[in-house]
Amino acid sequence: MTVAVRFRRHLRRLLLLLASCCLLSLLLSAYFLFTNSSPSMPLGQSPEPACSQPLSPYHQLPYPYPPNPPHTLVHTDQVVLVLVESQYSQLGQDIVAILESAHFQFRMEIASGKGDLPPLTEKGRGRYSLIIYENLLKYAHADTWNRQLLHQYCTEYRVGIIGFYRSTESSPTLLKLRGLPLVLRTNQALWDCCVVSSSPLLHLTKPGTDRGALPGEDWTSFSFNHSTYQAVLHARAKEGAGAGSGDNPGPGFSSGLQATVVQDMGLYDGVRRVLFGQGLGYWLHRLILVDAISYLTDRKLTLGLDRHILVDIDDIFVGKEGTRMNAKDVKVLRCSGDNM
């Protein structure tokens, strides 16, 4: 048998083997195609989501949901979202003035009754590092969909919420916030505000007591029964003995202590909050607001502790008699700077 004959025989066997493999592959493909096929769908329609999958772009959270650990990497723009009653409201303007003076970027939006929010994310990044509600009730009374959407965003991107509640003549004496173990007592006249030294929120503000009546008689205090809450400011609701400090109040003071600013550590539902029982007419609230912004943004939006005093040279050399600065005034300025 010649070499050419043997070559043709092996080539024929190889071709038959390849043809058999191709035929077997076609049969298997046809079998799996027809046994696993699904009903056809008209053009222009999309499949309905599974019943177990929520329509929200965020996954549902277990309850209670612990906050993200500090090492979790999230990306948010250093912008504050301010939700106001109107662009002319006094408290809204006060909030904006503080943000502008601190050179913090912000976006102001009118808060809707249903709690509708602007887009919170863009290409996997959070658009806001903090959300401020001028009216706490707009947050508390938001519908279930918007509130869940907001909570999903806050927990996934470690974003905190600041809210203000201002009492009116028509406010109920006791008010329960929906979804939170928190009760508000409204329209109170308070005295002797003290800063709680153990609060981790403090940065610019120093512990101490501001004695005397607080401005106005429309103060709101907070009562809570969960470990996630901690008082930042205390005041007493009746005249009597004052308090030496936020931690060791004097006799007759502890029974009347009211928490006028509280911080929520996020242990209840994963969202960190700072709630104010008045506007920004009280000077301590302005300092606490700056500290709250720093705390809730993990010091991304914060002010340094260095302070500078600018003195016009005219006040030293050619100032009016009786108002001209002298060596004693300079020493007082230096001592004040050391105590700040």
In this prediction, residue 99 has a pLDDT band, given cuts at 50, 70 and 90, of very high
pLDDT computed for residue 338 by the predictor:
67
In this prediction, residue 333 has a pLDDT band, given cuts at 50, 70 and 90, of confident
Q: What is the mean pLDDT of the segment spanning 120-125?
A: 92
In this prediction, residue 238 has a pLDDT band, given cuts at 50, 70 and 90, of low
Share of the chain above pLDDT 70, in %: 76
pLDDT computed for residue 242 by the predictor:
38
- Residues 286-303 pLDDT 10s: 999 999 999 999 999 999
pLDDT computed for residue 61 by the predictor:
37
pLDDT computed for residue 339 by the predictor:
65
CA distance 330 to 332: 5
- Residues 308-327 pLDDT 10s: 777 776 666 666 777 777 78
Q: What is the mean pLDDT of the segment spanning 67-78?
A: 70
pLDDT computed for residue 32 by the predictor:
57
CA distances from 194 to 186, 188, 340 (A): 19, 16, 17
Q: Which of 112-121, 155-164, 242-251 has the least mean pLDDT?
A: 242-251
Query: 169-178 long-range CB contacts below 8 Å, 24 or more apart?
Result: 177/136, 177/140, 178/140, 178/141
Share of the chain above pLDDT 90, in %: 57
In this prediction, residue 337 has a pLDDT band, given cuts at 50, 70 and 90, of low
More confident residue, 273 or 339: 273
In this prediction, residue 271 has a pLDDT band, given cuts at 50, 70 and 90, of very high
pLDDT computed for residue 330 by the predictor:
78
**Neighbour tally for 36: CB within 10 Å:** 7
pLDDT computed for residue 52 by the predictor:
33
pLDDT over threshold 50, residue 120: yes
- Residues 183-227 pLDDT 10s: 999 999 999 999 999 999 999 999 999 999 999 999 999 999 899
Q: Quickly tell me which residue has 């700072």 as its tokens.
A: 274
Burial track 105-132 (b if 16+ CB lie within 10 A, e otherwise): ebebeebeeebebeebbeeeebbbbbbb
- Residues 12-57 pLDDT 10s: 787 777 777 777 777 776 665 555 443 443 333 333 333 333 333 3
CA distances from 227 to 152, 230, 265, 312 (A): 22, 7, 9, 50
pLDDT computed for residue 24 by the predictor:
77
